[in-house]
A and B are shown apart, each in its own frame.
Chain A
Amino acid sequence: MKNIFAVAHLTLKEGLGQKILYSVLILALMVIFFAVLLSGFFMRDIAKIIIDFSLAAVSLGGLLVPFLITVNLVAGDLENRTIFSLLAAPLPRSAYITGKFIGLGLLAGVIMLILSSAGLLAVWAGKMLYGVHFFKMFSPASYITAVFMNYMAVLLLNSLVILWCCLTNSSFLVTLLTIASYLIGQTIDDIVMFISAPNSGVPLSHSIKITISIAKYIFPNLAAFDFKQMAAHGLHIPWSDTITMTAYAMVYSITALSLAIIIFQRRDLP
């Protein structure tokens, strides 16, 4: 366990040193600030506008980790051979993968915590600027739950990125696979619903329908982790949903990581 946390700590520190992190953080903070001003253009749903922007910024900040940093720190380790120094120590490959996952998870957590705090500050600023009555429906519990669910989705995506890194040495290919995983994860549910609708009006061959049905079980349903709209409207997010989605994220991540470890233990390092 100590080994795993040593790698996690190293990964977190290296991640915090990436310059792109700070550029995106500043951008996300600007988006949140802009939201407070922009919400004045709307009529009554001012709270919804500010929360929409804040949660979108939190999502973007979280997605930075799997799309940019995980690729850099895992595929980059293999490309640059930084991994040799780590694996020369009595560190099992499984501990390396697990440590990386935890470190990157902590990094995403730090980013999303900063941005969600800025979002809450924006809500407070909105209350000061426009009046408390526009924020009657705001629910801190729903906001925090939406952020937590978003975090679970980011962890899940991270585990997939690590799996792609174990399969290929190329950072470029890993990035493409990550983008594909994200897009499929976000849209698979809508596509399945669309083709299942009796009058979808879209003629599809049997083989395509089967492919989409199989994809539904292979790729994670990332759209299901999106509770932003419920938080934006101050609606209560049931505990059962939160627990189910958390369990789904954990199970999926463990499966992806297990597969990653199995592959990584058997592959030659470059």
Chain B
Amino acid sequence: MSRIFPFFFLLIGLSLSIILCSNVHSIRLRHNNESMGNIGHLPATVLRAAALEFHGIASDFMFLKTITYVGLRLQEHSSPTKEEWHKAATMLRGVTDLDPMFWDPYLFAEVIFPWQANMQPEADKLLQKAARYRTNDFQPFYFLGFNAFYFEHNAAKAAPYLRRAAALPGAPAFLKGLAARFSLYGNQTKLGIVFLADLLKNTSNPKTNAYLKKRLRTLELINLLENKVKEFQKATSRLPLSLDELIKKDLLDTIPQDPYGGKFTITANGRVYTTSNMIEQKK
């Protein structure tokens, strides 16, 4: 009898552990929200002192926590709250305090904040920090220039950034002419396509890849529609009132589906946009 008891308790213990696993996980998720962001509020010196000689690995883990946090929030509801976005931004500040030369947090901020959270200034602040520390890297200035041009529609602000990027080693050849010849890329859509295509080439993470591909596809569709609008204007000397006119004029078979679940629409000045604003719509 005394030999059977340990096995009996083992079985009960294992079963209870499996049952309690998900409860424990939910408790952790609830409390996780509180701890996230608090670490980023610590002064840089304190963070660095606390990490002893392991700044690099501490920044790696902290960044992993950040992208997991953002990923979870995006899974739960496609529009995380402002507070949650700010927590993520605080975490990224902490990550870059630990390792100011760590590129991925800056890239993450650039890929997510302006597009998803409408937090281009936060992305810019981080990119300014990247430019201070990554002195031989063209990318911070490249993205700062892109943000100024694409989100702020401010070519005058973008040009100096892009000039500085062009002067740094490894800058793509097209950057050299870009600052001087904005009209070559007439509108922001083409610039966005070039930017995203370049990003995709150099990203290995599958989730990020999928995210960028979707965005790129949407911009390509917008670009296609804008080209069709130009053809319509050339043929009829006026802008179409809606995209359905393009179908009537046999320029399109059908209005493409917005990958984000919204609808493509045309503005009065012939620009195409999507009602989803490239944010995943709830079905």
When chains A and B are docked, how far (Å) is the Cα of A199 from the Cα of B59? 26
Contacting residue for B204 out of A43, A53, A56, CB 8 A:
A43
A41 with B57, Cβ < 8 A, contacts A48-B102, A186-B52, A190-B45 known? no
Q: Does A14 reach chain B (CB closer than 8 Å)?
A: no
CB contacts under 8 Å to A, within B82-125, are 99, 101-104, 107-108
When chains A and B are docked, how far (Å) is the Cα of A55 from the Cα of B54? 9
Main secondary structure of the interface of A (DSSP, over half): helix
CB contacts under 8 Å to B, within A113-169, are 130-131, 133-134, 153
Contacting residue for A40 out of B48, B63, B202, B205, CB 8 A:
B205
CB pair B56–A187 under 8 Å, yes or no, is no
The residue in B57, B99, B103 that gathers the most chain A C-beta atoms within 10 A of its C-beta is: B57
Q: Please classify how large the interface on chain A is, using the bins under 10, 10 to 19, 20 to 34, 35 or more.
A: 35 or more
Quote the shortest CB–CB distance from A41 to chain B (angstroms): 6
Q: Which residue of A lies closest to B205 (CB)?
A: A43
Main secondary structure of the interface of B (DSSP, over half): helix
Instruction: Taking A55-B56, A194-B46, A229-B101 as given, write out 6 further A-B residue pairs in contact, using a Cβ cutoff of 8 Å, ordered by the A residue number.
Output: A40-B205, A45-B102, A51-B56, A52-B60, A56-B57, A59-B54
Q: Does B230 reach chain A (CB closer than 8 Å)?
A: no
17 A-B interface contacts by CB (under 8 A): A41-B67, A41-B205, A43-B204, A44-B103, A45-B102, A52-B60, A56-B54, A183-B52, A186-B53, A187-B49, A190-B48, A194-B49, A225-B53, A226-B53, A228-B55, A229-B56, A229-B99
CB pair B204–A228 under 8 Å, yes or no, is no
Tell me the total A-B contact number using a CB cutoff of 8 A: 87
- Chain B interface residues (CB < 8 Å from chain A): 43, 45-46, 48-49, 52-57, 59-60, 63-64, 67, 99, 101-104, 107-108, 202-205, 208
When chains A and B are docked, how far (Å) is the Cα of A153 from the Cα of B53? 11
CB contacts under 8 Å to B, within A16-70, are 38, 40-46, 48-49, 51-53, 55-56, 59
CB pair A44–B56 under 8 Å, yes or no, is no
CB pair A131–B204 under 8 Å, yes or no, is yes
CB pair A43–B107 under 8 Å, yes or no, is yes
- B-side contacts of A43, CB under 8 Å: 103-104, 107-108, 203-205, 208
